[in-house]
Chain A
Amino acid sequence: MEGWIALYIFMLAAFTGIEVIRRVPAILHTPLMSGSNFIHGIVVVGGMVVLGMAETNTEIVVGFVAVFLGAGNAVGGYVVTDRMLEMFKSSGNRNEGDKS
């Protein structure tokens, strides 16, 4: 990839990250950490690409590890985040059950 374009992507993504978090209230900091943990689970896609290219046994084993760990990151991160967010209810909707 063209280096300068990559640098622009990095810069814009970094500002996006800073702006996105600035609005988050302290009560959601733990879920946020967990949510961002889930999002870097996208690394599993990279793991799949290298496993798909792997040829020697070493490459295949390491590639397999990459997919395994990445998938664990994505799925575990998602379930943990969802379990936390599920519990946040306001006094208005706490007795309404699963209406939303």
Chain B
Amino acid sequence: MMPSLQFLVPASYFIAAVLFIAGLKGMSSPVTARKGMIWAGIAMALAVLVTFFHPKVEGNYGLMVIALVSASVLAWWWAKVVAMTDMPQMIALYNGMGGGSAAAIAAVELLKLHSGQVEMVPTTLLVASFGAIIGSVAFSGSLIAYAKLQGWMRKSWRFPGQQLLNLLVIAATIGLGVWIMVDGPTPLLLALFFASALLAGILVTVPIGGADMPVVISLYNALTGLAVGFKGYVLEIPALMIAGIVVGAAGTVLTQLMAKAMNRSLGNVLFAGFGKADEDAAGLSAEGEMRSIDATDAAIQMAYAEKVIIVPGYGLAVAQAQHKIWELTELLTSRGVKVSFAIHPVAGRMPGHMNVLLAEAGVPYDLIFDLEDINAQFPNTDVALVLGANDVVNPAARKDRSSPIFGMPILDADRARNCIVVKRGQGTGFSGIENLLFFEDNTRMLYGDAQKVAQSLIAGIKALG
């Protein structure tokens, strides 16, 4: 009974679509997240298997297997060996591959249209071309994002007339797309079309600074989703449409949430440099002086506290101090101190990245709190320990209208009874904005590398017996 195959293929795609949505839904809690993803993974494997029996597939089975196996082995191996701190760029890389795949699908479809093997109504051609553009932009843009986060490229690259050039390239891409729509695709026209779309992705991404990269990666993730959805329409596979559009919509919301947490608008991220605002507005020059404390005194303060909140930032991850901090936390907890972690939405390199890094060190997620949940607790906290975080605890965001970060939600570490800031040196941080927290009366600076400081704090507490 062979007609069952005609049923099996679309039925499997349907199941896959359901499990994908359920998998994303499971992400709303750390308890269900992993199980949901495992089911989504099974659905993906099933969808790939039945595609060998898709009615349109007529040959090249051997090549298909080679491409599937070689890519899977490479991607699996690379994803396994990469360090957790490098996760953001891995997401960018794999996302770029998805965008590239969508663009390549469009290329084959358009080539087939040229040779007359397939026919397309204008709507389908429009959707195919549009998918080709966003797929290509997501591909080249993500690769640039990868190169930047990996440190292979200068952080941002600007030159006069850049905005104009970008606009021209984008206009040229759309123009070529319209030409294809009107006159039909020729190989030369297609080559120019894809080259200019790829160039647009590169040019748009190149001037964007490292701090904004997470927002851009999230945006490209949404774009790839959209491109995949469009390909689903062209190839008449609803599962692709649904998975692509769900990701596209979710990715757009996520991008906006991230931009908001960084106090930027999306347009601002894409079309203005972060550096610009900072140069002409350094904000209030701080009054008062910074007072330092040594590790032994800090250890005593924390050991006899009732409640300690640790505010980790990316500097903590750079110093690889997460494990030491967890050891410190366990030590304090065994003395009866209540320890929690406060995470700013943009701590780490992207929202939630810090949570991943802490989880890797073994910190249970129920000790980790979001900004909204923990800010009210700072006034009853004896010690707030700020480690490698800077702008996200700068009270200038609340007090100083002229500061570039004014209005950004911050963690109110300055409202704790005592605040200890661990910092490598005396200068301003990453963004160059003066941090008013360092000059508060209840703040003490503890200079040193986060890893070594954590080590001496542990030693200090142990010495108390």
Footprint of B on A, CB under 8 Å? 1, 3, 6, 9-10, 13-18, 20-56, 58-60, 62-92, 94
CA distance A85 to B30 in the complex (A): 7
Name B228's contact: one of A3, A40, A75, A81 (CB within 8 Å): A40
CB of B105 within 8 A of CB of A13, answer no
CB-nearest residue of chain B to A86: B34
Beyond A46-B102, A49-B237, whether A70 also contacts B97 by CB under 8 A is: yes
CB-nearest residue of chain A to B24: A20
Q: What would 12 more interface pairs be, CB under 8 Å, given A31-B33, A43-B224, A70-B71?
A: A13-B242, A24-B28, A25-B28, A33-B217, A36-B225, A36-B251, A38-B40, A45-B51, A52-B56, A72-B71, A76-B90, A87-B360
- How close is A90's CB to chain B, nearest CB, in angstroms? 5
CA distance A94 to B126 in the complex (A): 52
Specify which chain B residues have a CB less than 8 angstroms from the CB of A74 in the assembled complex: 44, 48
CB of A42 within 8 A of CB of B370, answer no
Name A17's contact: one of B33, B228, B245 (CB within 8 Å): B245
CA distance A73 to B233 in the complex (A): 20
CA distance A90 to B16 in the complex (A): 30
Specify which chain A residues have a CB less than 8 angstroms from the CB of B196 in the assembled complex: none
Beyond A46-B240, A48-B48, A49-B54, whether A80 also contacts B90 by CB under 8 A is: yes
CA distance A85 to B352 in the complex (A): 12
Specify which chain A residues have a CB less than 8 angstroms from the CB of B241 in the assembled complex: 6, 9-10, 13
CB-nearest residue of chain A to B360: A87
Specify which chain A residues have a CB less than 8 angstroms from the CB of B23 in the assembled complex: 35, 39
Specify which chain B residues have a CB less than 8 angstroms from the CB of A43 in the assembled complex: 98, 101-102, 105, 224, 227-228, 231, 240, 244
CB of A21 within 8 A of CB of B254, answer yes
CB of A42 within 8 A of CB of B228, answer yes
CB of B352 within 8 A of CB of A88, answer no
B151 contacts partner chain A, Cβ-Cβ < 8 Å: no
Specify which chain A residues have a CB less than 8 angstroms from the CB of B261 in the assembled complex: 26
Name B67's contact: one of A15, A51, A78 (CB within 8 Å): A51
* Chain B residues numbered 133-172 whose CB sits less than 8 Å from any CB in chain A: none
CB of A75 within 8 A of CB of B251, answer no
Specify which chain B residues have a CB less than 8 angstroms from the CB of A71 in the assembled complex: 48, 67-68, 71-72, 75
Specify which chain A residues have a CB less than 8 angstroms from the CB of B459 in the assembled complex: none
Specify which chain B residues have a CB less than 8 angstroms from the CB of A20 in the assembled complex: 21, 24-25, 27-28, 246, 250
CB of A60 within 8 A of CB of B34, answer no
Name B362's contact: one of A22, A81, A94 (CB within 8 Å): A94
Specify which chain A residues have a CB less than 8 angstroms from the CB of B360 in the assembled complex: 87
CB of A17 within 8 A of CB of B249, answer yes
Beyond A72-B97, A86-B34, whether A51 also contacts B64 by CB under 8 A is: yes
CB of A37 within 8 A of CB of B30, answer no
B364 contacts partner chain A, Cβ-Cβ < 8 Å: yes
B253 contacts partner chain A, Cβ-Cβ < 8 Å: yes
- How close is A72's CB to chain B, nearest CB, in angstroms? 4
- How close is A21's CB to chain B, nearest CB, in angstroms? 4
CB of A13 within 8 A of CB of B229, answer yes
CA distance A44 to B350 in the complex (A): 27
CB of A27 within 8 A of CB of B111, answer no
26 contacts between A and B (CB under 8 A): A20-B21, A20-B27, A24-B28, A31-B33, A31-B352, A39-B225, A39-B246, A39-B247, A40-B225, A40-B247, A41-B98, A42-B20, A44-B48, A44-B101, A50-B108, A52-B60, A65-B104, A66-B101, A69-B100, A75-B72, A76-B93, A77-B98, A80-B87, A82-B38, A85-B37, A87-B360
Specify which chain B residues have a CB less than 8 angstroms from the CB of A49 in the assembled complex: 51, 54, 56-57, 235, 237
Specify which chain A residues have a CB less than 8 angstroms from the CB of B240 in the assembled complex: 42-43, 45-46
CA distance A51 to B104 in the complex (A): 10
CA distance A24 to B351 in the complex (A): 12
- How close is B317's CB to chain A, nearest CB, in angstroms? 13
CB of B105 within 8 A of CB of A42, answer no
CA distance A40 to B371 in the complex (A): 31
Specify which chain B residues have a CB less than 8 angstroms from the CB of A80 in the assembled complex: 79, 82, 87, 90-91, 94
